[in-house]
Amino acid sequence: MSDFALVSSPEQMRDGYLCDLFAANGSVADLDDLKKRVAAFCELAKHFVSTIPGNRYTGEDVVFEPHSIRLMIGRFQRDAFGVQRLWNELGQRSSAGEQSEARTEELKEQILSLGIRVGTPKPRKTRIAAVFSLWMCVFRPVSLNYKASSDDKAAAMFSAAVNFWICRMYLSKFGEVLGGAAFTEHIKRVAHDFTYRDVSLSSLEMLYCGMFKPTPGQE
């Protein structure tokens, strides 16, 4: 994990960590790729805590659970981009003459009939965000140091807060994320749903669909 001071660079924050975390290319089976994604996630979480007013917490107060982070990122990547990668692989084999186009299409049909969570090579942005939130809800890979946060009633929702913040930032790169009066309702969902491990993908996707308006031509 890189040094906390790295978050002082807006450029890294803007197009580095978020892009690394949500990159469709690459594979978490590659240790360097996994390390990059883990570092990106950790820097984002530490950046979040640095925005809390009054210097209440520092990056040192963020407690990371390495195994949970690894599992969360692995399952997010598998669900969000697994079919896309498989389609690319099948396309390359077909182009190389290793299998016929008809066989490729047959395999695709068989794969899609398996009931995969995100059965499309072109997942919507809102679904990608929902998959990320789903696995972060399940694994809750970050928390605040108990000693530093024992009198903070919101501390138990730290992972939920980082989860929602990361996904809203991700969506904001592709369009407008609505706030206003709806924000209060969204926060209630975060407080309740995002602290529940058995949350469903469809309910999370509906939450994000309800707040996201893509930029014309950039959807």
Q: Which is nearer to another protein, 65 or 152 (CB)?
A: 152
Q: Which of residues 158-197 bind another protein (CB under 8 A)?
A: 160-161, 164-165, 168-169, 172-175, 178-179, 181-185, 187-188, 190-191
Question: Smallest gap, in angstroms, from Cβ of residue 88 to another protein?
Answer: 13
CB of 71 to another protein, least distance (A): 24
Question: Smallest distance, Å, CB 85 to another protein?
Answer: 14
Q: Does 202 bind another protein (CB under 8 A)?
A: no
Helix, strand, or coil (residue 142): strand
Residue holding tokens 């390359």? 92
Place of tokens 């928390």: 143
CA distances from 177 to 103, 123, 169, 192 (A): 42, 18, 9, 21
Sign of CA dihedral 130, 135, 140, 141: negative
Tally of residues, the chain: 219
Q: How far is the CB of 131 from another protein (least distance, A)?
A: 13
Nearer to another protein, 71 or 187 (CB): 187
Residues 58-87 that bind another protein (CB under 8 A): none
- Minimal distance, residue 120 CB to another protein, in Å: 8
DSSP type of residue 7: G
Cβ(159)–Cβ(136) below 8 Å: yes
C-alpha–C-alpha distance, residues 152 and 144, integer Å = 10
Q: Which of 110, 150, 151, 153 binds another protein (CB under 8 A)?
A: 153
Q: Are 148 and 62 in contact (CB under 8 A)?
A: no
Among 1, 6, 39, 52, binds another protein (CB under 8 A): 52
For another protein, the binding residue among 61, 123, 139, 144 (CB under 8 A) is: 123
**Does residue 177 contact residue 171 with C-beta atoms inside 8 Å?**
yes
Q: State which of residues 5, 53, 102, 151 lies at the interface with another protein (CB under 8 A).
A: 53
176: closest CA among 214, 138, 217?
214
End-to-end Cα distance, the chain: 33
At 147, list the tokens: 């000693």
* Contact call for residue 213 and another protein (CB under 8 A): yes
Q: Which residues bind another protein (CB under 8 A)?
A: 10, 13-15, 18-19, 23-24, 47-48, 51-53, 122-126, 128, 152-154, 156-157, 160-161, 164-165, 168-169, 172-175, 178-179, 181-185, 187-188, 190-191, 206, 209-215, 217-219
